Amino acid sequence: MRRKKNTMQQEEFINKPGKTGISRLIDATSYSRQGLLASWRNEAAFRQEVTLAIFLIPLALWLGESGVERAILIGATLLVMVVELLNSAVEAAIDRIGPERHPLSKIAKDTGSAAVSIALLLWLSTWGCILLPRWLG
């Protein structure tokens, strides 16, 4: 009986009614815009990362010696913002649950923060590995 219930839930998900085609794409674009604006308004770290990216992306285009280097430098920069957005989503969901402290809420928020830290380390090491050898030798 349990297997049949899971199969029915999967079919409902797969056959979920809703918009398709261009109207779905328009809605998805609107939701993405709303998410970016909410993060911009509510997250100082996201504003700082966007501001840095405004300078770093043109710098990556200028300093990268090949298309691959440019893509890696830009990708590492954008990855920091992606992880920050996901961290903000986790924090918002946890805060929505309630203001009381709970060990699982702390783990979720701390893990999101750790993910941002790792993305920043990846960014730093990527830029360092590509640019430092040129400047040092």
Q: Is 110 annotated as a binding residue?
A: yes
Among 11, 65, 69, 84, the one annotated catalytic:
84
65 is a catalytic site residue: no
Alpha-carbon distance of 22 to 24, in angstroms, equals 5
Whether residue 45 is annotated as binding a ligand: the answer is yes
φ and ψ at residue 43, rounded to 5 degrees: -125, 105
101 in a labelled binding site: yes
Confirm if 128 and 95 have CB atoms less than 8 A apart: no
The SS3 call for residue 88 is helix
Is 46 annotated as belonging to a binding site?
Answer: yes
Check whether 102 is labelled as a binding-site residue: yes
31 marked among binding-site residues: yes
User: Known binder of ligand: residue 12?
Assistant: no
Question: Under 8 Å CB-to-CB from 66, ≥6 apart: which residues?
Answer: none
Tokens of 117: 């830290």
Q: What one-character DSSP code corresponds to residue 20?
A: -
Point out the annotated binding site for ATP.
24, 31, 43, 91, 100-102, 109-110
Catalytic residues: 84
Point out the annotated binding site for substrate.
24, 45-49, 70, 84, 113
Point out the annotated binding site for a divalent metal cation.
43, 91
Point out the annotated binding site.
24, 31, 43, 45-49, 70, 84, 91, 100-102, 109-110, 113
